[in-house]
Structures are given as structure tokens and as C-alpha cells.
Amino acid sequence: MKLFLTTFITIFFAALTISFAGPADPVIAAGQQPQITIDDLGTIRIIYGNGDKIYCATSVDNGLTFPAIQLIGEIKDMHLGMSRGPQAASSKNFTLVSAIDKKGLVHIFQLNHQSGKWTKQSLANDVAGSAPEGLMSIAADQHNNFYAVWLDNRNDKNNKICFAKTTDQGSSWTKNKIVYQSPDKTVCECCKPTIAVSQSKVFIMFRNWLNGSRDLYLLPSGNKGTTFNTAAKLGYGTWKLNGCPMDGGGLAVNKKYAVAAVWQRQGQIYYCKPNEPEKLIAIGRGCSISDPENPIITWQDGNKLNLKELNNNDVIHIGEGSFIKATRTKDNRILCAWELDGEIIFKKL
């Protein structure tokens, strides 16, 4: 009798859990490593990879639905996974997507918002095979200019921070510029650098490898990347580590040029502004930040995906999976996208 009651109770509560569980979050398609962009009109694009192909899912209803999926292009042996994958940025009139193949070539695709057509552009790196790590980031300003940063090993096979920007509204790229090289030979080898732009201000964040420490550094420019100031360490703590954490963090800058950064150190997520102490946010890794006016921070704790608005103490559990990204939509809500079991999932809060 006791066994019967125990079994009945177990089944009963299991049934309750199933019956009261909410509907599954909608799936866009099979894919990995989503990136979210939003243009001036509020059109949202989720860029992602699947094998050697790159796709764009588009929403014109503030992220409620993504009915249109376009094939952007195909890159043989494209890097995909562990923050390696297509990167995206939108300006007023264009969206650019970058993707790196395992030979180290940085491929570029451009969407003309008016025509709705994607076209292949010239390579971003001017030394063939200089970006074999496959780690980069791109950003756009308010005037259809695009900026890129990546790990580059030209000349001596050691990873350095390389920068380039577009000319002719994204159709070609300036001569590449090594903007930082660690005096200890290499920056952190497997952490993605990040770039953020506002008007003429350009900011690059990267994980350095200096004196045995794997700390985040900020490299600013006040003239659209023509020159860069000295790189400065973010936060007051340090991380002595004989290995790469494979976790680059996130960066955002608002219209008043206030910079906000998030990163992981020893399994903890920190938020920081330049020349200020870092603030502990949570336990986890794989963090990102968006909406510099009212920052949204996302991160992963095991397979749990979390979100927090900086001006709110509440932590929202979004779901399970990995590689979560978020943006604020034009109707002042939050859209999230992530990967789970080989599919791209999205949710609007």
C-alpha cells in the first residue's frame, strides 16, 4: 500500500508539472551562435550559422515572429562554435555579416536594407590566412560606417589585436592595422575581442596575457580608429592563469560615450566602467551586454541562461541552452536568442 501511494504521488506531481509547464519557446531553425541586430526602423535580424551556411531570420513586428529566413552565403570550413561564428552589425541602411574560415580568411557579406538583397564583399583581412583563430567582432556607427576587430597572427604567428574599418559604406576595407601587441608576445589566444562604436568614438575590449594574468583591457580611439590611445586594464582585480578561459565578455557604449563592459573572471560575471572598480553580478560565464542606455546583461550558469537589467535587482531565468544574446526592441521590451540542441530559440519578455 505504501509503495502504491508513493508511486501515485510521484505520478500525480509529475502530471502537475507537465500540465502547468508553459509552452515551449519558439524555434527559428537549426543553427548555432546567434547574433542579434536591430536597425533604425526597428527591424530585427538574427544571424546564425548552420554547418558552412549563414542565415538571417528577420522580424518586422518587434521580435514577435521571424517568418522570413534568408540564406546569406556559404563559407567552406567556416569557424562555428565557442564564440566563433558569423558576426553582425546594422547601420541605418546596411547590415554587415562577417565569417572566418579555418584558413583564416575574413569573409564579408552586405545587406542593402532598401533592396533586401545580400551581396558578397571583399575580404576584411589584407594578409591571407592571418585570422585562423576565427575570433572577431564588428560594429556600426550612425553613418553607415563599419568597424572590425579580430585576433591576427601575421608576421610572427603570435595573436595580436587587428583593426579595420569600411570605406564606401561597407564595400571595401581600409588597410589593416595592428593596434595592440602584448609585450609578452601574445594576447589571450582563444578569447573573442569586442568592438563598440558611437559617432567618432571606437572602443575595443580584449583579454590580454600580461605578466601571467588574463585580464580585460580597453583600447579607445577618438577619431574613428585613425589612432588609438594606450590600452588600459579594466577593473581592479587580476586573474593569474596558465591557460585560456575562452570567454571574451561584452562591451557597449552609449550616445554620451559612456562605456560599459562585462566579463568573466574565475567563474564570476563582473560589470565595469573604465577607471572604476568592477561589480560582481553573478556566477557564470559566456556573458554579453546590450542597450548601453539601460544595460541588459546575459550569461550562462551551467546550462541555465539568465538575464538582468542593470537598474533592476531581479535576475530572470530565460531557459536552458547556451550562447544567449539579447536586445531591447522598439516597443521597450527585451528579445533573447540562444542555441539549444542544435536549434536557434527566441523569446520576447
What's phi and psi for 318, nearest 5 deg? -85, -40
Name residue, grid cell 567582432: 137
Mean confidence (pLDDT) of the chain: 92
Going by pLDDT thresholds of 50, 70 and 90, the confidence category of residue 22 is: low
CA separation for the pair 318, 343 (Å, rounded): 16
What pLDDT score was predicted for residue 23? 73
Give me the residues paired with residue 38 across strands.
Answer: 44
Residues listed for the chain = 349
| CB proximity list for 291: less than 8 A, separation 6 or greater | 252, 327, 328
For the stretch 114-166, pLDDT in tens is 999 999 999 999 999 999 999 999 999 988 999 999 999 999 999 999 999 99
- % of the chain at pLDDT higher than 70: 93
Domain chopping of the chain, boundaries: 27-348
Q: Using 50, 70 and 90 to split pLDDT, how confident is the model at 9?
A: very low
Q: Are residues 346 and 36 in contact, defined by beta-carbon separation less than 8 angstroms?
A: no
**Average pLDDT of span 267-277:** 96
Q: What percent of the chain has pLDDT over 90?
A: 87
**Which class would CATH give 27-348?**
mainly beta
Buried b (16+ CB within 10 A) or exposed e, 29-59: eebbbbbbbbbeeebbbbbbbbeebbbbbbb
Q: Quick check: 1 pLDDT over 50? A: no
| pTM tops 0.85, yes or no | yes
Closest CA to 194 of 244, 142, 250: 250
